[in-house]
A and B are shown apart, each in its own frame.
Chain A
Amino acid sequence: MGIIKKLPVFVEKFPGGGLVTTSLNYIFNQAQASSVWYLLFGTACCAIELMATGASRYDFDRFGMIFRASPRQSDLIIAAGTITKKMAPRLKLLYDQMAEPRYVIAMGGCTVGGGPFYYDSYAVEKGINHIVPVDVYIPGCPPRPESLFEGCLTLQKKIKKQKIEDWS
């Protein structure tokens, strides 16, 4: 991957070089953002809303997002549902198995910061941002399908701002 990092700097020195890198950025980002495949990871109540969002009335497929069962074939984990202390190492293992570039959306109050289980619970991880790096947070208990769409579109906007030099 070293040559890819050095290539844009090399190309930009030529006249019209900046145009090439910007167009390449645009093409790669557009391709990536239009087909983000997510891993089916649902533990609790938010999983039912995730399934309902992928079903008939609110359809995920029109954004190019379909579910995959294996982390090797997906780009995104939508962590839907409470993560307990027993489940946290499994989430980290799944995240490590994904190939880069990979993203995480924290869906629902429990993954953002403990949610309704912040007080008086001895077995809940209060938020997942100290287990995996989170890109988008979606509050709600459970969030409506429209909120989930807003979160996914925000992720797509984030993807479209990527640059080739930042790939590592």
Chain B
Amino acid sequence: MNRDELITYLTEKFKDKIELLDTGRAEPFFLIKRENLVEFCREIKSDLKLEMDYLCNIGAVDTGERFEIVYDVASVENNIRFDFKLVMEYEGAEIDSVREIWPAANWYEREMWELYGINIKNHPNLKRFLLPDDWNQGNPMLKSWDAPDFIRMPEELQ
């Protein structure tokens, strides 16, 4: 199905749980709520017209005011691709793991936990991953993070 058919199908199927953030540039981009995450993912994987069985990417964004988590999914059989995201505040930042639906999500979520401090429920192995074992300086990818030996590029070199 092409882009417009996909948008119509998804908005009809999920009605008010999904909102189209169409930037008009690439594949369609949707916004969902944090509570509906696992159910939404299960539905798009098992639906026979969609069959989104391939997880491409999970990324976390720190906009300075809140967190956004972006998911990019694809279907190998039906050749469909779209992206969706959810937003949440800094306090109490935690999401459910989608590892049961797509096993590829294991390491993506572990990295999000380590670099951003977002708690993942139901994850079996939240351990040190990319940073050294004795790292005690917090979550480095946050916009508000700083450390004594972290040197920023000065403005006149840009």
Q: Which residues of A contact B (CB under 8 A)?
A: 85-86, 118-120, 122-123
Give the number of chain B interface residues (Cβ < 8 Å).
Answer: 11
Residue A86 contacts which of B132, B140, B152 (CB distance < 8 angstroms)?
B132
Task: For the A-B complex with A122-B150, A123-B130 known, give 18 more contacts whose Cβ atoms are closer than 8 Å.
Answer: A85-B132, A86-B131, A86-B132, A86-B133, A118-B151, A119-B151, A119-B152, A119-B153, A120-B150, A120-B151, A120-B152, A120-B153, A122-B137, A122-B140, A122-B147, A123-B131, A123-B132, A123-B140
**Minimum CB distance partner of B128 in chain A:** A86
Chain A positions within 8 Å of B133 at CB level = 86
Interface residues of A, dominant DSSP = loop
The interface residues of chain A lying within 8 Å CB-to-CB of B140 are 122-123
Q: Say how far B9's CB is from chain A's closest CB, in angstroms.
A: 43
Could you tell me which residues of chain B, from 31 to 60, have a CB within 8 Å of some CB in chain A?
none
Alpha-carbon distance A120/B133, docked complex (angstroms): 21
A86 CA to B130 CA in the complex, in Å? Answer: 9
Q: Which residues of B contact A (CB under 8 A)?
A: 130-133, 137, 140, 147, 150-153
Expressed in whole angstroms, the minimum distance between the Cβ of A46 and any Cβ of chain B is: 21
A87 to chain B, nearest CB (A): 9
The distance from the CB of A125 to the nearest CB of chain B, in whole angstroms, is 10
Q: Which chain A residue shows the least CB distance to B115?
A: A122
15 cross-chain CB contacts under 8 A: A85-B132, A86-B132, A86-B133, A118-B151, A119-B151, A119-B152, A119-B153, A120-B150, A120-B151, A122-B137, A122-B140, A122-B147, A122-B150, A123-B132, A123-B140
- Which of chain B's residues has its CB closest to A119's CB? B153
Give complex CA distance A119, B150 in Å.
8
A122 to B114, CA, bound (A): 14
- Give Cα distance in the complex from A119 to B153, angstroms: 5
Min C-beta distance of A142 to chain B, whole Å:
22
Q: How far is the CA of A66 from the CA of B79 in the complex (A)?
A: 50
**In the complex, chain A residues whose CB is within 8 Å of the CB of B153:** 119-120
Closest Cβ of chain A to B98, distance in Å, is 28
Q: How far is the CB of A61 from chain B (nearest CB, A)?
A: 37
Residues from chain A with a CB closer than 8 A to the CB of B150 are: 120, 122
- Measured between beta carbons, the chain A residues less than 8 angstroms from B147 are 122
Closest Cβ–Cβ distance, residue A127 to chain B (whole Å): 12
Q: Which residue of A lies closest to B141 (CB)?
A: A122
Tell me, in angstroms, the Cα distance from A54 to B153 when the chains sit together: 36
Query: Nearest 5 pairs between A and B by C-beta?
Result: A119-B153, A86-B132, A122-B140, A85-B132, A122-B150
Q: Measured between alpha carbons, how far is A85 from B150 in the docked complex, in Å?
A: 13
Q: In the assembled complex, which residues on chain B have CB atoms less than 8 Å from the CB atom of A119? A: 151-153
CA distance A146 to B62 in the complex (A): 45
Minimum CB distance partner of A89 in chain B: B132
- CA A85 to CA B131, docked complex, whole Å: 8
Residues of A within 8 A of B137 (CB): 122
Contacts of A123 in B (CB 8 A): 130-132, 140
